Structure formats: structure tokens, C-alpha cells
Structure 1
Amino acid sequence: MRLTIAMEYGIAVILYMGLACNTLRKTESPYVTIDEISTQCDLSKNHLIKVIHILGQTDILTTIRGRRGGILLGKPFADISLGEVMRALRKIPEGRQGESFQQDVRQLLTLPIQEAEQRYQEAMDQVSFADLVEQFKTKRSGLKNHTSRS
């Protein structure tokens, strides 16, 4: 399985939401807006809308429409796994029409690929966004310390 742009955006949204709860935000509102995420993370607003819509259909995000609306985490940050976000944003590839030999090869590879994806998803389910945020904070503080010495 490869990381799609939608998955990258979804991961960025959840990370921003986790970080924004404590440090990045200048507003008192509990809601994070798409404009805020787009600006702060330098992400395309149009792609963000699609990703947030999909995540809002799950229990990962709660979306509130309207002028004073925005986005909230749908459940505790530590309970959101990387695998869960990736599954929500995975597009199922369309089957290709081809010659019978190619179809036979694809059919032969179906089971091994499914088993590999299952192991991959199990590994991603072990990674919480709380873990990622701590790694992110550690990396950021290391970069700040390194650049301040120069």
C-alpha cells in the first residue's frame, strides 16, 4: 500500500489538531477551521475540504457547519491510530481490463497482497497520533536548539 496525497493530508490534519489544542492557536474558539489548517500547514484548501469531509463521516473528526463552526477531534487524540486514518482515506483501485494472462497474474497476487496489507494495517494501528505528536515536538525542539547555536 502506498501513501496517497489524501492520506498525507489526513495525517497532517490530525497532527495539527493535536498540536493546535495546546500551542499553535491564537484563537479562543475550540473549533479549528479549514482556512486555519490550510494556512498553517500550507495545504490546498480544496483537497483539505475533501479529506475533512471523509474524516467527518467517521468518528475521527466532528465537523460543525456554519459561521462559527469548524472541526473538532471526534474522540480522544490518543485513541486515533495512523492505520484508522489511512483506511478512511484509502481509495479502492478500480479493476483494469486487460489480457487474460495479466488478469491471471493479478488474481494470483491478490492473496499475498491482501495478507501484506493486513500486516501493514496492523502495524499502522499500533501507532497513535499522541506518539506522533511527541516525536514531532522532540524533532522540532531539536531543530530549534540546533539552529539557535549557529
Structure 2
Amino acid sequence: MQLTSFTDYGLRALIYMASLPEGQLTSISEVTEVYGVSRNHMVKIINQLSRAGLVTAMRGKNGGIRLGKPAETILLGNVVRELEPLALVNCSAEFCHITPACRLKQVLHTAVEHFLDELNQYTLADMVKDNSQLYKLLLVE
């Protein structure tokens, strides 16, 4: 299974925000600069993260973005569940004529659930806590 770039950069954006001092605002432009991703792509990602309550976005002169909840409460599997289209195969009757008898869909569903359960063993805080190398790479003071 390979995550989409949307989910990949969503996780990276959250890691960046989690590496900042708690409550500190950043900007979409700053995140795009750190990771070298298109601003339009990041705007869509931040909007989705905001709708999920994982990011708080504030408009205006002193606006910006920051984590919407403490990093210790953000489970990685739940982030992936919010961002990733998790249908591994197209089981619609129009696409696959064995759908009524196929058992593959359930096996793949179970595999995805195990994958997400494993990711949920880790929080966003686990990704940044005591990670001095990360702070150096992100140039966070």
C-alpha cells in the first residue's frame, strides 16, 4: 500500500506544526517552503485537516495555522483515515462481475484496518518528541 502525496504531505504538515512551540502559528507558505510542495496542493491539504479538526486556521493580519488539538491526542492512523481514499480495489458491480461472490474485499478491508490500528499506536507527538535531528532539518528554533 502506498499513501497518496496528499496524505504524505498532510502528515508532514502536521509534523512541522507539532515541532513548533505549542500554540505557535505558522503559515501555509512556510510549510510549502519547508517541503517544497505546491502552495495550491498544500491549501487543499490544510483545508481538509481543518475540516477534520486537526488544524486551526485563523484569517487576518495576525492569522495563520496551527494544530487544532494537542499532538499527544492526534493518532497517525486517524490522520490517514481522514486524508487517504482507503478503497484499495473497485468492487462496484459495473466494474467487476465477481463482486457478489468475491471475498477479496473483506480481506483487504481487514488488512487496511490492521494497518490503521498499527499506525494508531503512535501519536503526532511521538514523531517529534526528543527528535533533535528533525528540529535541525526543519530549522525550528
TM-score (structure 1 length as normaliser): 0.76
| 2:68 alignment partner AA | G
Point out 4+ residue stretches in structure 1 off by more than 3 angstroms. 92-99, 138-141
2:55 is aligned with 1:64: no
- Describe the SS at the equivalent of 1:66: coil
- Aligned residue among 89, 95, 103 for 1:98: 95
Displacement of 1:139: 4.7
Tell me, which stretches of 5 or more residues in structure 2 are unaligned?
none
Q: Would you tell me which structure has more helix in proportion to its own residues?
A: 1
Whose Rg is larger?
Answer: 1
- Identify if the C-alpha distance between structure 1 residues 2 and 31 changes in structure 2 by more than 3 Å, giving closer, same or farther: same
Mapping of residues 103-142 of structure 1, within 5 Å: 103=99, 107-134=102-129, 137=131, 139-140=133-134
**Shift in Å, 1:82:** 0.9
Write out per-residue CA displacement over residues 23-65 of structure 1, whole angstroms, 9 at most, x where no aligned residue.
xxxxxx9321000111122222111101100000012111112
Q: Sequence identity of aligned pairs in percent?
A: 29
Instruction: Report the number of matched residues.
Output: 134
Correspondence for 1:5: 5
For residue 87 of structure 1, give the secondary structure of its aligned residue in structure 2. Answer: helix
1:76 aligns with 2:70: yes
Please provide the CA RMSD for this pair: 2.7
Aligned partners of 1:42 and 1:68: how far apart in 2? 24
- Structure 1: gaps spanning 5 or more residues: 23-28, 144-150
In the alignment, the residues of structure 1 paired with residue 17 and residue 47 of structure 2 have an alpha-carbon distance, to the nearest angstrom, of: 15
Per-residue CA deviations over 1:50-106 (Å, capped at 9, x if unaligned) read 1100000012111112332111111111111111111110125484633524x457x
TM-score using structure 2 length: 0.80
